[in-house]
Amino acid sequence: MSPKNKAEVLIAGKIYTLSGYESEEYLQKVASYMNNKISEFNKVDGFKRQSKESKNILLDLNIADDYFKAKRQVEVVEEDLELKDKELYDLKHELIAVQIKLENAEKSLEKSVRAEIELQKKIVKLETELNENRKK
């Protein structure tokens, strides 16, 4: 297990000490996210008039909304990835089947070419015999 990290962060004008197994950079990023959310809400006139408890609940709900939207996006991406993996699997099998057909066609062509060469040799032999018979 990695060691716990501590980071002093500034959230809503107050300094907090966060600790966790994540990097200090990550902890600062979380604090920055919180500050951005608080800043967003402070721009709304109605928010400023709410009680501290209501502000906290609204902020919590907004963060939970962000979480569930992000989670849904991850699920969509995972579903898409699963679909792409299946398509890739199917394409690989299709490619293998086509390669096998190609190999079989090449073998068949090679066999046909050998047979044609043999037939051409027979034709030359027969023509030679015919010409010799004509000369006699």
Residue 108: half-sphere exposure toward Cβ, Cα within 13 Å:
6
For residue 30, report the phi and psi dihedrals to the nearest 5 degrees: -65, -45
pLDDT of residue 131: 87
pTM score:
0.64
The percent of residues above 70 in pLDDT, for the chain, comes to 99
State yes or no: pLDDT of 135 exceeds 90. no
Helical ranges in the chain per DSSP H = 24-42, 45-48, 52-135
Q: Which two tokens stand for residue 94?
A: 């299709």
pLDDT of residue 87: 98
Using the predicted structure, report yes or no on whether residue 134 has a pLDDT greater than 90: no
Average of per-residue pLDDT values in the chain: 95
